[in-house]
Amino acid sequence: MMKITFISRYGSKNLGDELIVRELEELLLRFTNDLDRYSFNLVHYSSLEASFKYNHKNSVSLQNKTRKKGFYKKYLREFYFVAILRNYLNKKRARSNINISQYKEKLVNADALIIGGGNAIFDTEKYSSSYYYFDLIINEARKLNIPIFVLNVGIGPFQTKRQHKKAIETLAKADYITVRDEHSYKLLESINQKEKKLYKTVDPVLFLKNDAKKIVTNGFHVGITVMDIRLANYTETQYINYIKNIKFLITYLLENTDYKITVFCTELKDSIATIDLEYMLNKFDKNKLTIHNDNDLNSILTIYKNIDTLFGTRMHSVIIAFSKGIPFIGLNWQQKVDGFFKVVNYQENLYEFNDFINSFNIIVDKLEKIKTNYSIERELIFKKKEELQPLYELNKVLLEEMLMNVD
């Protein structure tokens, strides 16, 4: 039986990552049952389920880590020598990672290397080298002449031409590359100058099974996902303003409509944001407002079964909504979010993160429009989902092409 080494988002505490892994693994299991599973840090997992056993951390511990990162971002990273030293130490840590040697030993028995899911190579700092670890992984397969497929990834942003160039050089070593959005494709399109190996697809989470409600019953139920935006290089001030604006929106909806609201997050580290909101909104009737702090997959998917629409921040929180035919509104805080809304032709429901409060009345009206035209909104999503299906199936076609000659 063919043996595939699959490197993906195993072990992540982000539900979007977990769903990506589950969908891509389901795709690979069409070809073989013999998968060697690794996280991007090359931690080896015996099974899919073993990698997603949640280790819920104390919220104080999470908050302390966020503060430490915030201190670095605010005071240290702009110093040239600090940034250079950090990049050097990261590379040294990558080379000396004990997981690398274990990966090398097991890779000898593999028939193919598949690396995929999520944002693969991107740099938010001028002197970082995100390509480096990815390059180490690919080079080991190249030494063994093993076919390589970089599957369904996002690329960018980059801060310098050198970072962009290195990402292209690294990914060009693969036999096939599929990217999940137009922006990633444009960043890498020079790879196709010598031979066609880069293709555009869509995010696998778009095709989750739909189990959402078909009609609005017992009032209108709005889900609101929040995130700790400081994790994405936003400042403490921006985070505070964001939480205050979300609180303002929730307060208005609770005091002026009959909507029921559930606040939750799809990333364990974002639970700080739900805790902050819970403290600020504790005066409201718990029958109308639920703030959900559990982050396991089943409990979050249960929320999606019960809500009628979603106001979301993290990209995969709105992708899950799309996959289940739930109308949604989003905040544009990163290029990949804008890219997704363009893919599904939903740009009119996307608002800029830094000033969404200025679109407050429009957002409130949009929610009411969704409620009024609920069946139509759902049908538009399902139609778009059907249109996008062939783009995702392209991954299967390319896998078949690559693996057909593997012994």
CATH number of the domain at 338, please: 3.40.50.2000
Task: Kindly state the tokens that stand for 83.
Answer: 């940034």
Total domains present in the chain: 2
Residue 216 in domain? no
Same domain as 53, residue 21: yes
Same domain as 186, residue 241: no
- 340-365: average pLDDT: 93
> What span, in angstroms and rounded, lies between the C-alpha atoms of 80 and 74?
14
Q: Is the pLDDT of residue 41 over 70?
A: yes
- 93-110: average pLDDT: 89
| CB distance 121 to 148 below 8 Å | no
> What span, in angstroms and rounded, lies between the C-alpha atoms of 248 and 133?
42
Same domain as 278, residue 335: yes
Q: Is the pLDDT of residue 89 over 60?
A: yes
| CB distance 266 to 317 below 8 Å | yes
Residue 398 in domain? no
pLDDT of the residue at 173: 97
Report the percentage of the chain scoring pLDDT > 70: 91
Q: Is the pLDDT of residue 383 over 50?
A: yes
If pLDDT is split at 50, 70 and 90, which confidence band does 357 have? confident
Same domain as 245, residue 193: no
Same domain as 230, residue 166: no
Strand pairing class (176-179; 112-121): unpaired
Q: Is the pLDDT of residue 237 over 70?
A: yes
Same domain as 225, residue 154: no
> What span, in angstroms and rounded, lies between the C-alpha atoms of 76 and 359?
35
Q: Please tell me which residue, 310 or 56, carries the higher pLDDT value.
A: 310
If pLDDT is split at 50, 70 and 90, which confidence band does 138 have? very high
Same domain as 325, residue 279: yes
What is the domain-level CATH number for residue 106?
Answer: 3.40.50.11930
Residue 279 in domain? yes
- CA-nearest of 197, 130, 119, 127 to 153 is 119
pLDDT of the residue at 70: 55
pLDDT of the residue at 36: 96
Residue 208 in domain? no
Residue 268 in domain? yes
* 3 state SS for the chain: CCEEEEEEECCCCEHHHHHHHHHHHHHHCCCCCEEEEEECCCCEECCHHHHCCCCCCCHHHHHHHHHHHHHHHHHHCCCHHHHHHHHHHHHHHHHHCHHHHHHHHHHCCCCEEEEEEEEEECCCCCCCCCHHHHHHHHHHHHHCCCCEEEEEEEECCCCCHHHHHHHHHHHCCCCEEEECCHHHHHHHHHHHHCCCCEEECCCHHHHCCCCCCCCCCCCCEEEEECCCHHHHCCCHHHHHHHHHHHHHHHHHHHHHCCCEEEEECCEHHHHHHHHHHHHHCCCCCCCCEEECCCCCHHHHHHHHHHCCEEEECCHHHHHHHHHCCCCEEEEECCHHHHHHHHHCCCHHHEEEHHHHHHHHHHHHHHHHHHHHCHHHHHHHHHHHHHHHHHHHHHHHHHHHHHHCCCC
pLDDT of the residue at 67: 52
If pLDDT is split at 50, 70 and 90, which confidence band does 57 have? very low
Q: Is the pLDDT of residue 201 over 90?
A: yes
Same domain as 242, residue 168: no
Same domain as 124, residue 84: yes
Looking at 201, 232, 254, the residue that finishes a domain is 201
pLDDT of the residue at 60: 43
If pLDDT is split at 50, 70 and 90, which confidence band does 95 have? confident
Residues 6 or more apart whose CB falls under 8 angstroms from that of 267 comprise 13, 14, 15, 16, 227, 295, 314
- 261-283: average pLDDT: 94
> What span, in angstroms and rounded, lies between the C-alpha atoms of 298 and 271?
17
Range of the domain at 36: 3-201
Residues 6 or more apart whose CB falls under 8 angstroms from that of 298 comprise none
Q: Is the pLDDT of residue 314 over 70?
A: yes
pLDDT of the residue at 103: 95
pLDDT of the residue at 192: 95
Residue 161 in domain? yes
Same domain as 228, residue 183: no
Residue 325 in domain? yes
pLDDT of the residue at 73: 56
Looking at 153, 172, 201, the residue that finishes a domain is 201
What's the pLDDT tens digit per position in 60-72? Answer: 444 555 555 555 5
Report the percentage of the chain scoring pLDDT > 90: 71
The distance in angstroms from the start CA to the end CA of the chain is 9
If pLDDT is split at 50, 70 and 90, which confidence band does 216 have? low
> What span, in angstroms and rounded, lies between the C-alpha atoms of 395 and 397?
6
* Greatest alpha-carbon span in the chain: 65
- 299-307, Cβ contacts within 8 angstroms, sequence gap of 24 or more: 300/15, 300/264, 300/266, 303/223, 303/262, 303/264, 304/212, 304/223, 305/211, 305/212, 305/213, 306/213, 306/221, 306/262, 307/221, 307/222, 307/223, 307/262
Looking at 147, 169, 201, the residue that finishes a domain is 201
pLDDT of the residue at 59: 44
Q: Is the pLDDT of residue 34 over 90?
A: yes
- 280-298: average pLDDT: 88
- CA-nearest of 264, 246, 245, 248 to 256 is 248
CA 184 to chain centroid:
14
* Amino acid letter, 278: E
Same domain as 335, residue 240: yes
Same domain as 246, residue 196: no
If pLDDT is split at 50, 70 and 90, which confidence band does 94 have? confident
> What span, in angstroms and rounded, lies between the C-alpha atoms of 337 and 353?
11
Q: Flag the least confident range among 22-26, 135-139, 336-340.
A: 336-340
pLDDT of the residue at 165: 97
Residue 211 in domain? no
